[in-house]
Amino acid sequence: MSVIWHDVECGAYAEDLPLWRSLADEHGDPVLDVGAGTGRVALHLARHGHRVTALDTEPELIAELERRAAGLDVTGVVADARDFELSERFALCIVPMQTIQLLGGPVGRTAFLRRAARALSPEGVLAVAIAPMLDLFEVVDGGPAPLPDIREIDGVVYASQPTAVRADPEGFVLERRRERITVSGDRSVDQNQIRLDRLTVPGLEAEAVTVGLRPAGRAEVAATADYVGSEVVILSA
């Protein structure tokens, strides 16, 4: 089920793909995609001729990524971004869709940055997407609500409805209502929460310096009607 919900909620996002492809074209292979999920970015890069290692902590997502990658130069790795060791060194490491804000605050981020620095080739580059701010909202009965993400698979309808973004002292909590309707009309509803750590571009750059990485530029992925925009921090070995 994790594969389906990942695809429903993340699979349609494409606004950042030109940036990752541009960075891969500029810096070359191999590319390490951290938080790869079912391969949204990794497969896109591979289809454009790049050699990609895709890392994610969930075995089901990596298994599906590898199934979809048949015939492409993609290697899946199941590992925690805060504690991985790969024998290969990478010209480019990318961290799309605020994945770094899921790592449990400064301690988790620093652990990842240290691992990423070790994984880069001598001239390698790390590019990390973050969302420093999110628009807060809460859906109330009868009030306006964002459109749900919907997908039909084998006659079963999956709908994921954003219901709130709340702030707390350390970050943001994103709430969704997940609904599943079977062919026979059976309906199940679950609530899902994801917490993003609060993080700024200067703050990430300062943390990166402590592990030997150097700020090397910034980029931006514009927001859309359905997805938050990202600031992309570029760091060099």
CATH number of the domain that residue 76 is part of: 3.40.50.150
Residues 149 and 9 sit within 8 Å (Cβ to Cβ): yes
Whole-number pLDDT of residue 222: 93
Instruction: Verify that 95 and 211 share a domain, yes or no.
Output: yes
Distance CA 184, CA 172 (A): 37
Mean pLDDT (10-residue bins), the chain, 237 residues = 92 96 98 98 98 98 97 98 97 97 97 98 97 92 83 95 93 96 94 96 98 98 88 97
Whole-number pLDDT of residue 169: 87
Whole-number pLDDT of residue 202: 98
Instruction: Verify that 12 and 85 share a domain, yes or no.
Output: yes
User: How many C-beta neighbours within 10 Å does residue 29 have?
Assistant: 15
The domain containing residue 179 runs over which residues? 137-196
Question: Letter for the amino acid at 11?
Answer: G
Instruction: Verify that 24 and 57 share a domain, yes or no.
Output: yes
Whole-number pLDDT of residue 128: 98
In this structure, the dihedral spanned by the alpha carbons of residues 122, 123, 127 and 132, taken in order and rounded to 10 degrees, is: 80
Could you give the number of structural domains in the chain? 2
Instruction: Verify that 163 and 51 share a domain, yes or no.
Output: no
Whole-number pLDDT of residue 189: 96
Instruction: Verify that 168 and 105 share a domain, yes or no.
Output: no
Instruction: Verify that 89 and 154 share a domain, yes or no.
Output: no
Instruction: Verify that 88 and 22 share a domain, yes or no.
Output: yes
Instruction: Verify that 49 and 83 share a domain, yes or no.
Output: yes
Whole-number pLDDT of residue 226: 78
Whole-number pLDDT of residue 144: 79
pTM for the predicted model, two decimal places = 0.95
Instruction: Verify that 178 and 227 share a domain, yes or no.
Output: no
Instruction: Verify that 12 and 26 share a domain, yes or no.
Output: yes
In DSSP terms, 180 is beta-bridged to 158, 188
Instruction: Verify that 190 and 211 share a domain, yes or no.
Output: no
Whole-number pLDDT of residue 114: 98
CATH number of domain containing 158: 2.20.25
Instruction: Verify that 104 and 119 share a domain, yes or no.
Output: yes
**In terms of DSSP bridges, do strands 171-181 and 156-168 run parallel, antiparallel, or are they unpaired?**
antiparallel
Distance CA 181, CA 189 (A): 9
Whole-number pLDDT of residue 126: 98
Whole-number pLDDT of residue 88: 97
Quote the longest CA-to-CA distance of the chain: 57
